[in-house]
Amino acid sequence: MLRIVLALISVATVMGEGCCPPDAWEGFEGLLAGSVQNGRTHLTKGGLMLHLNNTGKIIAIEEDLFVDDHEIKLKVIQDYNRGTEYMIIDGKCTKKTLEPWKPKCIPDDAQVVQNTYFGAGSATMAVKTYSFIDKGLQVYATATVNGCVPIVEAISGTTAEGVSTVDVVEFSGITPGIKDPSVFNIPSICNSVDIPFQYVPSLSRLRRSVFH
Ligand SMILES: *[C@@H]1O[C@H](CO)[C@@H](O)[C@H](O)[C@H]1NC(C)=O
């Protein structure tokens, strides 16, 4: 009985508790997002390959998305040392200024809403689900207890731009480290031209995750 009481107390009071994903990792992210903007509904689905070096403050994402059934392939490099995000799409490079770097961790004031596991019997993996508000949106993020490796994330609400959204992403095939650092190389087409980011206005909002 005492154990049950203690467990309940810890679920109610334990906060983000320093859950930070591995320093460098790669993996797949599946995405399904619905949104309503100016009365029009949009459905986005697809997959991303993520490459993150948190020490190096650089992230590369290869995306294959279907936005309302139109396929879009793009590559994004977020170089926080230069403070610039590069988006390469259709052989064109666009640039945007990044917000200052923030560690990709569950916020310290997040609440643990579930302390559970995936699998069954002897094949289980302990996970925690955290709840918090990020830029006005409700986030539920689940990560492994051992190592804070991302598993699934659901984000919902209305953005500052007035877009109502529900995003669900799931992570799989994650490996620690970076196999080929050349994924972070900025293509030479990004040095010459400086096309404003408005070329693809909606795409920057399609990647919302506390983990990257
Ligand atoms: C991450 O970047 C840092 C700084 O550039 C570098 O020292 C480190 O080797 C990189 N890590 C991986 C796994 O590539």
The pLDDT value given to residue 38 = 86
The pLDDT value given to residue 199 = 44
Give residues with Cβ within 8 angstroms of 146, minimum separation 6: 126
The pLDDT value given to residue 13 = 47
Q: How far apart are CA 103 and CA 206, in angstroms?
A: 20
Question: Is the beta carbon of 22 within 6 A of some atom in ligand 1?
Answer: no
Q: How far apart are CA 122 and CA 114, in angstroms?
A: 20
The pLDDT value given to residue 201 = 46
Residue 135: other Cβ atoms inside 10 A: 10
The pLDDT value given to residue 161 = 83
Residues with pLDDT less than 70, the chain: 1-17, 193-207
Which residue has the least CA distance to atom 2 on ligand 1?
Answer: 56
The ranges assigned to domains in the chain are 17-205
Question: Is the beta carbon of 24 within 6 A of some atom in ligand 1?
Answer: yes
Asked: is 17-205 a CATH 2.50.20.10 domain? The reply is yes
Mutational test site, ligand 1, from 178, 182, 183, 185, max ligand atoms within 8 Å of CB = 178
Q: Among candidates 77, 97, 90, 81, which has minimal Cα distance to 187?
A: 77
The pLDDT value given to residue 192 = 74
The pLDDT value given to residue 20 = 93
The pLDDT value given to residue 196 = 54
Mutational test site, ligand 1, from 51, 52, 53, max ligand atoms within 8 Å of CB = 53
Residue 178 alpha carbon to ligand 1 centre in Å: 8
Phi, psi of 108 (to 5 degrees): -65, -25
Residue 49 alpha carbon to ligand 1 centre in Å: 18
| Ligand 1: nearest atom to the Cα of 181 | 14
The pLDDT value given to residue 191 = 84
